[in-house]
């Protein structure tokens, strides 16, 4: 299982999530997008609507009538009602349930770095987890040490 740590130093999660979601869909994966609070969920939904003028990333919210049909499901619960095998933890809060997914994207800010370091150490000790660290370099993401 792979966990990609994304250190948000310049842009908020709403800027990164559409790119990660699009790449996940490109490889045929369904996605669970985790966020806390109605405002965060709405902001992520807006980002998926208008990240790129020519595209819309189909999605819905957990608990909706058609949640099982959605390629991207936004929720505050780590339950893949849409059959997702990829999960984005966009709020900087790790959930051990993410280890049940094929791949996890863990987004965190500078204020959450101590928590992220703790999670990195825990996951590095788990022989079935491959953690990778990504940071912003100008306008692009590069893998760090």
Summarize pLDDT for 73-90 with one digit per residue, the tens. Answer: 999 999 999 999 999 999
Mean pLDDT across the stretch 106-135? 97
Summarize pLDDT for 12-58 with one digit per residue, the tens. Answer: 999 999 999 999 999 999 999 999 999 999 999 999 988 666 668 89
Q: How many domains does the chain have?
A: 1
> What CATH number should be reported for the domain holding residue 87?
3.40.50.10110
**Overall pTM > 0.85:** yes
Which domain, by its residues, includes 49? 2-143
**Helices then strands (H, E): number in the chain?**
3, 8
Q: What is the DSSP string of 56-117?
A: ----EETTSTTGGG-SEEEESS---TT--SEEEETTS---GGGGGSSEEEEEEEGGGHHHHH
Confidence band, pLDDT 50/70/90 cuts, at residue 137: confident
């Amino acid at each position: 299982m792979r966990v990609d740590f994304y250190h948000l130093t310049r842009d908020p999660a709403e800027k990164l999530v559409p790119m990660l979601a699009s790449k996940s869909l490109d490889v045929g994966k369904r996605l669970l997008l985790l966020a806390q609070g109605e405002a965060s969920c709405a902001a992520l939904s807006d980002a998926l609507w208008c990240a790129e003028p020519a595209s819309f990333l189909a999605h819905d919210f957990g608990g909706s009538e058609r949640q099982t049909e959605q390629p991207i499901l936004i929720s505050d619960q780590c339950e893949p009602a849409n059959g997702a095998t990829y999960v984005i933890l966009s709020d900087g809060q790790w959930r051990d349930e993410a280890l049940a997914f094929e791949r996890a994207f863990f987004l965190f800010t500078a204020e959450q770095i101590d928590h992220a370091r703790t999670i990195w150490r825990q996951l590095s000790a788990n022989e079935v987890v491959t953690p990778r660290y990504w940071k912003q370099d100008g306008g692009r993401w590069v893998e760090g040490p």
